[in-house]
Structures are given as C-alpha cells and as structure tokens.
Structure 1
Amino acid sequence: MATPDAELPMLTVAQAAQLRTLAAPHMQQDHEYSLRSLAQQCRHTPQERWPELVAAHFANLADASAGGEDAGELLRAAYPRLLPAEALTPDLAGAMSYARVVADGLVFGYALDGATSVRVLTDQDVARAGLQELGRAAYANLTQLPVEHAEVPLDGGALLHSVYGDSPFVASKALFLSELARQLTGEQLPDAGALVVVPTRHLLAYHPIADGTVVDAVNGLAAYAFGAYEDGPGSLSPRLYWWHQGSLTSLTVIDDDARTFSVQPPPKLLGAMKSLVGLDSAGRLATRAAAEPPDAAELSRTAGESLTCLMGDPAGLRDAFRSALALAHARCATDPDAARIDTWDPWAVAVQLGAALFTGADPQECRLGEDHAWQIPATPADPPADARAWLDAFYVCVVCRQRERLDRLCQVPLEVLRQDESVDEYVLHWIDTLQTYWAQRPMDDVAQKLITTMETSAPDTATSTPKDFVNRIDYQPVALFHRLITRDHDAFAEALGEALAHHGAYWGDSAAPRAQVALGPLAMASLAYDYGFPVELKQPCLPTYLLNRERIEVIPG
C-alpha cells in the first residue's frame, strides 16, 4: 500500500508531490495557501485532469480576491462563515481583525457568495457595509439558505439529524442551532443543548441531548465527524462540539504528537449525561421510545425472569425492583383504580424488592398471580448509591402503608446516597427531608431541610436534570409535602390538582408505565388521606384503591 502524505493524507506521497508541482506556478510569495480542499477534489478526479482542476481552483481564488463591491452588494450576498483555525494564516488574520474564535478549531468570519467563488470579507469590506448592518444581513441570508435534512438512526437508539446542501455555508448554521432545529423539526432543543459536528462546509450533524442515548451519540458523531472530515471536500473540523445556550465547546482533545483523538466532556455536560442515562434506564423520561405502548406480557415475563434470577443471585435486585415497579405502573393502564388482585401483586413485589435493595431482607415469597411464586433467599443490607431508586422504594412503601419498611429505609445513611453522581443536590436534600420527617425529629429541622430542597431545585441551581422533569415531576411531591406539614387542606387539594396536571402535561398521551401513575403525588396523597385530609379519590393517575387502602393487603417479609 502506498504511503500517505504527512500533510495531505488523502493523497499518496507521489500524488501530493505532483499536486504541489502543479500548484507552484500559481502561488504568490506573500500569501500562504492550504491545499487540503484541492487535494480532496483531486482524490476523486483522474490525475490527467488535475492540471485543469488546479488552474480553475486558483482562477476562482483570483476572481474572489478582486473585491471592490459596494455596500449593497455586500449586504445582499454576505453570509456568516466558519473557517478552520489553520486557515487563518497570518496575512489573512491581519486583514480580518473582526474575526473571532468561536471554539477550538473554529473561527467565525463573514464571506461573500459570488457567482463562481466565495471570498472571505476583510476589515475594509466590513467597514464599507458597517459591522452591525453586515451582521444582520448575513444572519438573514443564512436563515433563508435552503438545506436538506435527514434523520439517521444509530445502533443503541440514538438519532442524528444530518443537515447538508451544496452551499459552503451549511455548516455555519451550527452557530444558530436552536433556530435550525426548530425550523427542521418544530421542536426546541433540550435545556442541555445538543452534540454537533461540522466536518465540512457543506454538512453538519447534531443530536439533541434529551435522553440516555446521548452516550451512543457521542461515539457515533465523533466517528462520523472524523470520517466526513477526512473525505471532504471543504473540510472544516474533525471535532465533536457541545452546543449549549448559543455557545460551542469542543469535546474533542487532539494529541498532535501521538496523532490521537479522545472525547472529554466538561463536568457540567458529564453530569447531565449521567442524569439522563439514569432517568432513561429507569423509564422516567417521556421519550419517543417510551411513548410506544409497552407489551404487557413482556413486562410480566421480564419481572418473572428477574425474580427467577434473584433466587440464585442477589446481584440482580436493582433490576428486579425496577421491573416489578414498571409492571405495577403498567397494570394501572387497564386497571386505573387498582381494583384487581393481579394489579396489586406487582405493587407488593415492588415493596418487597425496593425495601430489600436498601435494607436487606429475610427470605420472602414474591408472588405475581396465584400460580407464580418465587422463594427469594435472604438479602444482605448493602444499599446502592441510587438516590432515585431510594425515593421509589420510599414512595411505594408509603402507598402500600409499610411503616416498618419505611422505618428501615429512613435509616439508610445519606452518605451512601450522596455517592450517586447522576442526581442534582436537590434530590439528596429531598431524601434528607423525608428521612428527618419520618424519624419524627423537630419540625423546625424538617422545615429547614424542605427550604433547602426548594432552593436547590431552582433552574439556575439544578443543572443536571432536565428542567421540565424537575418542574413537572420531581418538584411536585415537594410542593405537596409543604402543604401536608402545614396541615392546609385546601392548599393541599389545590397543589394535588396542579401536580396531576403537571404529570399529565409532562407525559402527554404516552403509554409508558410511568405515565400511568403519578407515584410521588400518590405517596403524598396517601399520607394526607391517612392524616384525615379530605382527598378527592377519583383523580387521574391516582389509583383509588391504593389511595383509600381498600386494595392494601399484608405483604410477606
């Protein structure tokens, strides 16, 4: 195999030497030229046609450098232009003092789209048009630039949005990615932003950071960017970027000496990724995949298989709890009041497994129907660093009125749960509030911890969890608890109605198991009902016979 050239690896050493020979007569001593784009065109062109290709390339450059357009011409045909950092040669940088670095490897400037070529605008051009006027005109021109859009599914479920076209300004749309996404899909980008690549001037691809598939998207986009950058033409950047609140941050670290690439998300993004993976894996997010109706038989089979595995290996306890809880929620889709025994069974199993996960348990029988029982051996007390699973376990034990299990859950050291790196601080403060309350410590302590929970769940403080999830799902039990401890019946009723409305708004018409029951509000309503609050029993996503205790039976263990 022929050796690739060190500077133009898309060509062999011999081919690169020929290209440099052809280009030499066109070079000007006072200018630096990059041959990368030309080399990419030559790679796909028979070598006998290289002379005319090289001549046409430099003729276009000469035509583009003529300049002299008036302000009107500049405003009509100017566009924002992303340039690779290495293209900003000393002589070009000296003529473009207005240009700025927007991210590692990328420089922002303006360019004029001519009939046969594109010319980067200099300070003199900008002065003729006016910087602010030029910026507004270039933005308007870019907004109206037509592009093609395709959705590209990756292994693992990640979805990439590929945006491409003949224009050399397509990649510039990454600067205004939020507007582009809204134009293409009708949807806003998530609070966490998006992963984006701009491998060539004619192409960008992005992935909204909305669920656990972000991990697969990181790998997929990084490989995609590198391949497209190498192929060209019009190579721009091989890096993977994070678009967030209008800014681009490079996630790619390049070791020039070792010629290696690695992806290193900053702490803020890494925290959001961990949170999304945790939420998504437990079925807590209203994703497009979650909207599909679950297979009830498959959920039952999965729960049964998890219990079978537990009979021989307690390591699967967390997955078994998750499966039982999903089945408990899903059964309420066809039995919203939880009136039937086959609905009660998975709720009881979720109680057994959730408590055992954090506090250990003696041998116990778990039952999913009269003919399906599993003898689960003793489970050691080895609580995992999973704060949200603890909350689920607490909530189901409250709903199913399991006071002794709740006592044990509230003795789980908070230091263990604090090791969970996938949650924001407010989740841990909320657990601290519940543990303090259940232990019947002074109400002043409970109130102070509740205030801290509220303060740390504010949008500018909770940075890892999607804001919509914080507001519509996580915060609602907190608001209800506030009304509960003040014993304000009317305010509690109003807050419960709001919580259920938020639950419905978050899940929409999703058929996901978690959409069927508002677990946190159900737990708070169960406490209120037991305290004598006049709780309305017929409300959506609040199973009546769990709320009023009519379906509650003795749970072994």
Structure 2
Amino acid sequence: MNHDNDLDAPNPPDPDLLMLTAAQAAHLRALAAPYAEDGHSTSLHNLAHICRSAPENRWPDMVNAHFAGLRAASRGGESAEELLRGVHARLLPVESLTSEIAGALRYARVVADGLAFAYALDGPTSVRILTDADVERAGLEKLGEAAYANLMGVSVEHEEVALEGRALLHSVYGDSPFVASKALFLSELARQVTGEPLPDAGALVVVPTRHLLAFHPIADGSVADAVNGLAAYALGAHEDGPGALSPRVYWWHRGGLTSLTVIDHETRTFSLQPPPELLGLMKGLVRLDRAGRLVSRTGVKAPDIGELTHSTAESMARLAQEPAGLGSAFTMALELGHAHCAADPDVASVESWDAWAGAVQLGSALFTGAQPQECRLGDDLVRQLPAVPAEPPADARAWLDAFYLAVVCRQRDRVDGLCRVPLEVLRQDDSVDAYVLHWIDTLQTYWSEGPTDDVVKKLLATMETSAPDAVVRAPKDFVDLIDYQPVALFHRLVTRDHDAFAETLAKALAHHGGYWGDSAAPRARVALGPLAMASLAYDYGFPLAPNQPYLPAYLLNRERIEAIPG
C-alpha cells in the first residue's frame, strides 16, 4: 500500500512541514527565528498545524503566543511532590527532540520508528517536558510509577469504528494531550475501554495526534482489512492535526511498538511492510478465519441449509472448467456437513450422511486425486466429480480435515492415500505453527504402522511445539481448546488407557463448547478432531459413553456409515 503526496501540485508541500507549502513554511520559519534562544532550534510541527488553518496576517501573534507559552512552561523549579503529582508518560515525535533538546533529556528514549518517550508535567496552563534535573529531583522509579498512574487516569472517550470489510477499530480520544500516549500501555487501555485484554498477538495501533489513538486487536482474519484501514485513518488524522504525532501504523506486541510503515523521505511515499513474525501470524489468522475455525466477535448467522447445499453443488459443477476451485468446494462441503448437525446432531438422516460423504470425497480428491464419481449432497442433488489429478496443495489444516473425515466415515483406503501425501508438500504451508506439521507426521507414521518409538517421538514433538511459548501463528485459546485436543486424545488412545481416554474426551468436548459458546458457526456443531479419535477408539473396543455432545452418534457407532463412491 502506498500513499503518494502530490509532487506535481502548483504549491508543493514543504519537505519537513508537510502541512504547509514551501512558501508558507519559509514564512513561518522567518517569524520563529527571533524566538530562538542561544541558537537553539525548536520543533515547529505543532505550531505549523495551528497556523495552517488561520490567515497569515494572524501568524505573528500566534507565533508570539506559542513561544510565550513555551517560555512559561520551561521555567521549572517544581518540588518533587509537585512533579509526582503532575507527571505523565508522554509520546513525542522523534523529530521534536532536536539535538539541543535531547541533550537535556538523556533519560528519554526512542520507543519505535518516529516515536520517542519522555516525561511531561501537566501544569495549569501548559505542558512541559521534564529535564534530567527534574527526573533526578523526583527520583526515576517514583517518577515512572506516578507517570503511569496519572496517564492511565486521563479521561477518554471510546467508540467503535467499522471499516470496509469486517475490521473494527477502537477509537480512543479526548481533550487531554496525553490520550495517544496511552498506546505505551495499550493492553491496560484496551481492558479499560472494552472490558477485555488484548489477544496474545497484540494489536495494530495508530497515534496520529496527541489527542487520538485507534487500535485493532489481532484476533481473526479481519486484521488484513484493518492494516489498510488504519493506514488511511492515521494519515488523514495526522495531516488534519493539530498536535500531530505520527502517521505510521504500529504493531503493539508484548509491551513494545514496531512500525509497519516504511517512509521514503525522498519520494515522500508511505508503504506497509509488516515484519516476518507479524506477516506469518496474519496469514495464519486469515486461513483459519476463511475456514470458519475462529470464533468471531460479531454474530455469525446460521447458514441456510438449502442455500449452502446449492452453493456447494454449483462449486462442484464448475470444477470441470475450474479445477483450482476444488479447495473452496471442499471447504463448502465440510461446512455443509457440519451445518446439517444443527438440526440433525446425530446424523440420522440420509441428507446429513450425503453431505458428510460428499465432504469425504472432495477432501480425499483434493490431496490424492480421484476418478470421476457421483457426489450426493442431499436434497436430491447429485453432482459429478470430474477426474482430478493428484496435486496436493500446501494446506496442512485442510489435510487434517480430510483425514479426520475419512477416519470418521471409516474410509480406510482414503486414509491410506492421505497418509501417502508427502510431508514435504505440507511443510510448504507457511500459515501454520510447527506443531500442526508434527501432528500430521505423527498421524501418518501411526497409520502407516511405523515403529512405535517413532510415533512416540513425533507425538512428543507435537506436544512440545504446541506449548504456548512455541505458538506464533494461531490464537492461544484456539490451540489449547480446539487444535490440541485430538493430540491429547491420541496420547490416551495409543496407550490403550480406557479411563484416561474417556476423561480426556469429556474435557475435549467441554473445551469445544467453551470455545464456541452460542456461536451459530457450522464448526461449533461438531468437534471433528475429537470425533475422529473417538471413532478410532470405538473401533478398538473402548467403552464410550453414548449421546455425548458434538459427537454425531450414528457416525461414531457406524450405524449411518454407508458405501461412498470412488
């Protein structure tokens, strides 16, 4: 994404004071020159924002008032108690810390590209940045504690702003010049204004002016929309001013700020370049979201079975001309199978079985290829699946779905084929964490009757890499409550511990319900991974309690299992 200034305009902007033309900036510098003390320079950014909206014949008085305020604010001499009572943590534009100013603020530091941190005293009529002498007088530790407490006590307004797409911004604003500085402690601010902490992945945040910040918690695939939306939002607010702070988009993560915005000062263009860690995280969230695996904060409407059936049928009908659409067709068919379980939780009807069987056919074909075959989708809809070459995509989670489905529907030959899919292909999926690939390796080795020691070693690798500190792509609650549960069940399965398996299964189903809550999303209806492990356990003779939630009884006990074409 690029934002280009109009370099060909009749009155191009000044390279340093972009809110003014070059001629206006020269005029302002001339007016400010007499106020420089001992040759020391002062940042003119805030003054430029104030002046640009006023007639130039008023600028001399405005410049005089501005520097008079600075002189009044710089007198200092407050007691330690007065400093502690009024100190606030403050974000400043890096360019405002000229070499002369920075020499008196050795404690200040750059916290991100374009942003510096310092302490500021909120006085009755002005705000001044504290010097090293002030900090020494009050004590650095006490000053830090007071600055945090005073900053978080600043009153703000909060509203939600919907962007194009599904992204939602939290806009925080107020009269105080310290509002944007709350971005230093964004997790606590988020808790104050939304009632919820930030996700482990953090948030995207902008601080365009001193009086405004906006953030987007990184929780689902809408982060892709939020990046561009925040960039436009920040640039517009920063240019409007006053009190301009930064036009950049930042990633707040683990207490730090990282700039996503790269500014080319020669061409005066802006581009967004997320760091590799964030880019991988975003890819993972987008893939999870598109597959319907994540709980959304916005309500999800229950799909209409008739519409979803016909949409799935139409996607299959296009495969002969558009074979690349097989992955999307599989996703829709899987959604259809799950959606049937809202009204038919046991998969007792033929229509529900047809939907599950169709998902099995498409999932297997996606990874192992297929001969032409009929797919029944319920509602008397039959579609011909054309011949499909064996060209497995680098989609690890889709492979797991296909594997789980084939196990649940007792399609041993299809499971065999899936376990021959080269792991090297699935390792090309850069949207998943390492534990997902270790888990696939474990399943393939186990199903192919590899050495027990190899299975155990790969299972341990899965467990270790699914620990919270090792997960960087998927949300921690999703990993813990959903993705890890089949792994925990498999552990009990291979040890043939019936009691432990039953206990772990009950916990897995409780976790599934806790994660999805009252969501109408199709994935909420069935715990697919635990269902696959429970199906294996059933076939091994494990005693399983009947009528457990999220486990379609007639799939688990094989009563609805029928032959599937192909």
| Shorter-normalised TM range | over 0.9
> What SS class does the counterpart of residue 334 from structure 1 fall into?
coil
Other-structure match for 1:165: 174
Residue 448 of structure 1 aligns with which residue? 457
Deviations 1:36-61 (A, max 9, x none): 21111111123332222222111111
Distance in 1 between residues matched to 2:321 and 2:108, nearest whole Å: 65
Return the match for 2:251 from 238, 242, 252: 242
CA 348–289 in structure 1, closer or farther in 2 if over 3 Å, else same: farther
Check if 1:210 corresponds to 2:211: no
Q: Deviations over 1:134-179 (max 9, x none)?
A: 1111111111101111111111211111111111111110000000
What is residue 209 of structure 2 aligned with on the other side? 200
Match runs of 1:188-337 below 5 Å: 188-289=197-298, 291-337=300-346
Counterpart secondary structure, 1:338: coil
Q: Distance in 1 between matches of 2:39 and 2:31?
A: 18
Question: Which residue number in structure 2 is paired with residue 32 of structure 1?
Answer: 41
Residue 507 of structure 1: CA displacement? Answer: 0.8
Change (3 A) 1:452 1:13: closer
Structure 1 unaligned runs (5+)?
none
Greater CA deviation, 95-104 or 250-259?
Answer: 250-259
The yes-or-no answer on 1:418 pairing with 2:415 is no
Q: Is the 8 A contact 1:537 1:548 kept in 2?
A: no
3-state secondary structure, aligned to 2:17? coil
CA shift for structure 1 position 226? 2.0
**TM-score, normalised relative to structure 1:** 0.98
Measured against aligned partners, the alpha-carbon deviations of 1:306-364 in whole angstroms (never above 9, x if no partner) come to 12212432211100000000011111011111111111111000000000000000001
Matched, 1:397 2:410: no
**2: distance between equivalents of 1:106 and 1:343?**
57
Q: In the alignment, which residue of structure 2 is the partner of 1:381?
A: 390
Tell me the CA shift for residue 290 of structure 1: 5.9
Which amino acid is the alignment partner of residue 467 of structure 1?
K
Deviations 1:468-497 (A, max 9, x none): 111111110001001111111000000100
Could you say which residue in structure 2 is the equivalent of 1:496? 505
Residue 311 of structure 1 contacts residue 375 of structure 1 at CA under 8 Å; is this kept in 2? no
- Alignment pair present for 1:132 and 2:141: yes
The answer as to whether partners of 1:469 and 1:506 remain within 8 angstroms in 2 is yes
Which position in structure 1 is the counterpart of 2:5? none
Higher alpha-carbon deviation: 23-32 or 245-254: 23-32
Do residues 525 (structure 1) and 525 (structure 2) align?
no
Q: 2:547 aligns with which of 501, 519, 538?
A: 538
**In the alignment, structure 1 residue 458 sits paired with structure 2 residue 467:** yes
1:468 corresponds to which residue?
A: 477
Aligned equivalents of 2:304, 2:138: Cα separation in 1:
62
Local SS of the residue matching 2:470: coil
Give, as a single letter, the amino acid of the residue that structure 1 aligns with 2:183.
Answer: A
Q: Please give the alpha-carbon distance, in whole angstroms, between the structure 2 residues aligned to 1:137 and 1:360.
A: 65
| Contact 1:429 1:452 (8 Å CA) reproduced | yes
Deviation at 1:377, TM superposition (A): 1.3
Separation in structure 1 between the aligned mates of residue 304 and residue 65 of structure 2, nearest angstrom: 61
Task: Name which of 152, 157, 167 aligns with 1:143.
Answer: 152
Indicate the residue corresponding to 1:364 in structure 2.
373
Superposed displacement of residue 257, structure 1: 2.5
- The one-letter code of the counterpart of 1:87 is S
1:370, CA displacement in angstroms? 5.3
The equivalent position to 1:346 in structure 2, one of 355, 364, 369, is 355
One-letter amino acid of the counterpart of residue 247, structure 2: P
SS of residue paired to 1:385: coil
* 2:109 counterpart of 1:97: no
CA distance in 1 between counterparts of 2:199 and 2:158 reads 19
Aligned to 1:106: 115
Partner of 2:443: 434
Classify the secondary structure of the residue corresponding to 1:374: strand
For 1:72, give the aligned amino acid. Answer: E
The answer to whether the 8 A contact 2:309-2:378 is kept is no
Letter in 2 for 1:386: D
Distance 1:92 1:48 in 2: 30
Does structure 1 conserve the Cα–Cα contact (< 8 Å) formed by 2:43 and 2:96? yes
AA aligned opposite 2:429? D
In the alignment, does 2:562 pair up with 1:556?
A: no
**Paired position in structure 1 for 2:190:** 181
Task: Give the Cα separation in 1 of the matches to 2:80 and 2:305.
Answer: 66
1:42-81 alignment runs, 5 A limit? 42-81=51-90
Give the Cα separation in 1 of the matches to 2:66 and 2:288: 52
CA RMSD in angstroms comes to 1.3
CA deviations 1:245-303 (Å, max 9, x no partner) are: 11111122222233222222222111111110110010000112464333333322321
The Cα of 1:4 is off from its aligned counterpart by: 2.6
Q: In the alignment, which residue of structure 1 is the partner of 2:6?
A: none
* Offset of residue 381 of structure 1: 0.6
Q: Distance in 1 between matches of 2:286 and 2:126?
A: 46
The separation in 2 between residues aligned to 1:112 and 1:297, in whole angstroms, is 64
- Sort the Cα spacing of 1:355 and 1:93 in 2 relative to 1 into closer, same or farther, 3 A: same
Q: C-alpha deviations, 1:19-40, integer Å up to 9, x for none?
A: 2333233222332112121111
Give the TM-score taking structure 2 as reference length.
0.96
Mean CA deviation greater in 146-155 or 49-58: 49-58
Q: Which residue of 2 aligns with 1:515?
A: 524
**Stretch of structure 1 that moved more, 101-110 or 252-261:** 252-261
| Deviating more after overlay: 139-148 vs 17-26 | 17-26
Matched residue type, 1:258? T
- For 1:431, the aligned partner's letter is I
For 1:127 and 1:69, the matched residues in 2 are separated by 12
Give the secondary structure class of the aligned counterpart of 2:246.
coil
Deviations 1:225-252 (A, max 9, x none): 2222222111111221111111111122
Larger deviation: 513-522 or 113-122? 113-122
Contact 1:290 1:512 (C-alpha < 8 Å) held by counterparts: no
Consecutive unaligned residues of structure 2, counting only runs of 5 or more, are 1-9
